[in-house]
Every structure is written in structure tokens, then in C-alpha cells.
Structure 1
Amino acid sequence: MDEVEVVVAHRQRATLRVGDVFLKVDGDLAHADVEVRAMALAPIPTPAILWHEPPVLAIAVVPGRALGLLGEPSAASPEAWAAAGAAIRRLHDAPLPPWPGRRLDDVAAELDGECAWLLANAVLPAEVIHRNREIAGAALRPWKPVFIHGDLQITHVFVDGDEVTGVIDWSEAAPGDAMFDLAIVTLGHEERLEDLLAGYGTDVDRDVIRAWWSLRSLVASHWLIEHGFDPDAPGCEFDVLRSRMREP
């Protein structure tokens, strides 16, 4: 009998692996519903859905390995990064999913609230928070909605050699800002942005991508701390925020 491996577990959801099957258990049934619908619409490789009995979603293992890990250099080739960029472009060029995305006002309000929490709890020097809040402002502009993954972490993109074999974890998919997806996959791996854009295309705003690096790191840190993760681990969110202080 295959052993049960706990891939991730916190108060909101848990993911277990049993052999070649992942079992995702989510306290919010809407997350799995969005994931199933998004994978059916996405024009790029996604995991095979084996069955769905709320609150459990069973999906097959994706071949290959993740593009990289946050906090570690990516061993993937420039060509693999370019292939990931091309896949993201296909997603962004696809018809919009038929459910709403986040509103700009909601993103701005969340950013302000999370910055206030970071300041009140003194988890980072105030000047780091203020500087990154300033940089993040460039992301708070109207955008043309595209079909975004919504949580395109580097560990959610799988490659085999120079080919994308699958993109996982679609529960945040929605209409949204293309620059957000590009920022999340390169968060903590800023040096691979040009490799990614070699496949995606050059009609991007690098200043907005950099703004999303700051915004995402500011907004995610509170959640990570409360759910037992460490945004202060080497190469992770706090390092991303500190690195902005070295820029002109």
C-alpha cells in the first residue's frame, strides 16, 4: 500500500499524495469548483482530474519537476523558462473565464490593511514597508483583464527538459492583470524574468512587474506567518522586500 504524504496542510486546506494521486481537501468549496472549471478552460497542460467529491478533489501527478523553489536558485534552463513564458502567453490570450476577478479597489484596500498590520507588529523595519508600499503603487492602475492563473508560484509550473508538462493549483484563476502572473512566477527569481519574457513576448511593463513583486510580498506575509510559514526564510518574501531598498 502506498504511503500517505502530507504535501501541505494548514487551517484552510490540505493536500495529500497517495501514490500517483493528489487529494486536495479545501474548507471553501468554491475553491475546488473554480479549479475544476479553470482547468477545463485553460489552453495549456493541466493535471488530469480523477474525481471530485466535495470537499475532496483528486488529481493525477503531473510529470516532470517544478520550475524551481522559492528561496533556491532555479535549475531549469533558459529554454524551460521561455517555454513557461509561452504557455502563460497562451493562457493570457485565451477567452476570459465567466466569473469575476478582483477589483482594483479591493487590491488597494488589502494592501493598505496588510501594510498597517506589518507596521503595527514591527515584523520589518518601517522604512522597508514604506518603500515597498511606494513601489507597489505602480501596480494599482486600471488593467485590461486577461485569463490569469492567479497564484502562479514557481512551484506550480512543471517542466520536463524544455517543455511545460503541467500547471497546477488553479483555485485563484480569474480575469485579472497579466503582469501579476508574470510577477508571481518570477518572485524571488527576478534574474530569470528575461528568460521568461523570451517566450512570453516583450509587450510588458517591467516597472509594473516589479511593483507586483513588492505588493505580493507585502500582502502575503501576514497570511504566511499566521499559517506557519516563514516569509523571512532566505530568498523569500522578506528578502524580496529588503532587496527593493538597494534599488535607486
Structure 2
Amino acid sequence: MDEVEVVVAHSERATLRVGDVFVKVDADQARMDVEAKAMSLAPIPTPQMLWQRPSVLAIAALPGTALGRLGQPSTASPRAWAAAGATARRLHDAPLPPWTGRRRQGPDEFAAELDRECALLVTNGVLPADLVSRNRHVAQAALRAWPPVFVHGDLQADHVFVDGDEVTGIIDWSEAGPGDALFDLATLTLGHEEHLDDVVAGYGRDVDPAVVRAWWSLRSLLGVRWLVEHDFDPFAPGCEVDVLRARM
């Protein structure tokens, strides 16, 4: 081992890589507990948990590489994206986990949070009013009743590891709990719209693309200010603001 790699770090949590071990430090013990429980229950490949201490979790590295990264073209094959969709389906078909989830709002709660965030984005001059208004309209399609399923809750493409066309595991389970299946599929394909058909083909169930696009808008609108405040760049090419612009 030559160095310690900082994978991600902000005021809420940090992840370090030390050789073949990832060490996660989280200020929210409940979030850490959810992650450990979700990995033990999910009927799909997850990292091996090596040990857990208060606010600290060590897991083994997964083989392969990330399916994709926001803001960068994915080099993974269409079959790999389809395999990710099939893996999501297996998770969604599993029994609901025995906890409510840290942020499992229903449509009304999401709508209220979204309206507050849209007002702040415009008032603070973060985004143009027409961009916010258009995406708030698109996001409305996500705000419908949905049957709760076991969701990952933050199924970003860089949380899905593949080796060739096979999914070797999924990381970062702190947002897991009951939720909308299409939220997971939207998170997986955020910024990778060209792979939505591949994911749906692997998922093997009818998916309303308008609802997926609505979740793209909703997730991006809710995320922009948080990302800026935590020193991430949602304005980078291919990232959240470009996702919003694509809906215009």
C-alpha cells in the first residue's frame, strides 16, 4: 500500500480507500446502520463487510469498474447496462426491508420539498426561473402514488460495479428502504439517457419513460444547491444542470 485515497469527503461523510479496503466514516449513525443492514438483506451482489465500529464501516473492494460516472461517457457495454437493470429488478422484487427508510417521502412530501427548493433556486439566483419552472412541470409526473419496493435509494451508475457484462456488486446503501422503483432506475440513468432503453430491457417490466424523466428533473432540482454547498459542481458538462437543460 503506497497511499490512502480520498474517494469522497464532505461535512456529512467521507470514504477512504486503503489498498483493497474502503473505510467509510459517517456522522449519522442511523445512516451507517441502514447501510450495513441493507447489504446483509439485499438479494444481489454487495461488498463484503469486514468490520463495523460506531460511525465507521470497512468493506472490501469490489472487482471490476464502475458502470459509469456522471459527466463522462460510459465505456460499459449495452449488455452491462441491461445487467444493471436486471439486478435492480431482483432488488425490487425482494421483500420490503423492516425499516421505513431515512428519506422515504410520499408524493405530497416530495412536492412540498420540491416547491421550497425551486423557490430558493430562483430567489438566490442559482438557476434561471424558466429552467426551474419547466423542470418543475416535468417533475410533476413523478409525484403519483407508487407501490413501495426495496430500493437502493442512491443507485448512481458509479455505485454499480461490472466486470465485462456482469454486475459484480453495488455499493453505498445508506439511503436504502421502501420507495419507488422508478426512482432507482432514474438515478441509475441520470446523465446517461442513451442507456435508458438498455436498462429497461434488462429490467424486464413495463417502465414509463416520462416518469423516469420526471425523476431526473426532480432529483436534479433537489440536488443542485446541496452540491454547490458541499463543493461539488452540478454545472460541469453532463451533470445535473445539463440534465435540467435537456428538458427545455
Of residues 81-90 and 116-125 in structure 1, the stretch that sits farther from structure 2 once superposed is: 116-125
Aligned counterpart, 1:174: 177
Question: In 1, distance between residues paired with 2:12 and 2:88?
Answer: 27
1:194 aligns with 2:197: yes
1:208 aligns with 2:208: no
Post-superposition Cα deviations, 1:46-79, rounded to whole Å, max 9, x if no partner, equal: 0000000011100000110000110111110011
Question: Matched residue of 1:244: which SS?
Answer: coil
Deviation at 1:202, TM superposition (A): 3.6
1:164 aligns with 2:167: yes
Question: Matched residue of 2:36: which SS?
Answer: helix
Question: Matched residue of 1:122: which SS?
Answer: coil
Aligned counterpart, 1:183: 186
Question: In 2, distance between residues paired with 1:202 and 1:26?
Answer: 36
* 5+ long unaligned stretches in structure 2: none
Question: In 1, distance between residues paired with 2:57 and 2:109?
Answer: 29
* 5+ long unaligned stretches in structure 1: none
Aligned counterpart, 1:78: 78
* Structure 1 residues 108-147: aligned runs within 5 Å: 108-147=111-150
Deviation at 1:200, TM superposition (A): 0.2
Aligned counterpart, 1:148: 151
Question: Matched residue of 2:246: which SS?
Answer: helix
Question: In 1, distance between residues paired with 2:204 and 2:163?
Answer: 22
Question: Matched residue of 2:237: which SS?
Answer: coil
1:103 aligns with 2:102: no
Question: Matched residue of 1:24: which SS?
Answer: strand
Post-superposition Cα deviations, 1:75-95, rounded to whole Å, max 9, x if no partner, equal: 100110111010000000000
Question: In 1, distance between residues paired with 2:149 and 2:219?
Answer: 19
Aligned counterpart, 1:62: 62
Question: In 1, distance between residues paired with 2:146 and 2:173?
Answer: 21
Aligned counterpart, 2:34: 34
Runs of 4+ in 1 over 6 A off after TM superposition: none
> Normalising to structure 2: TM-score of the pair?
0.97
1:24 aligns with 2:19: no
Identity %: 72
> Normalising to structure 1: TM-score of the pair?
0.97
Aligned counterpart, 1:44: 44
Of 225, 228, 232 in structure 1, the residue corresponding to residue 231 of structure 2 is 228
Deviation at 1:100, TM superposition (A): 1.0
Question: In 1, distance between residues paired with 2:2 and 2:61?
Answer: 14
1:240 aligns with 2:232: no
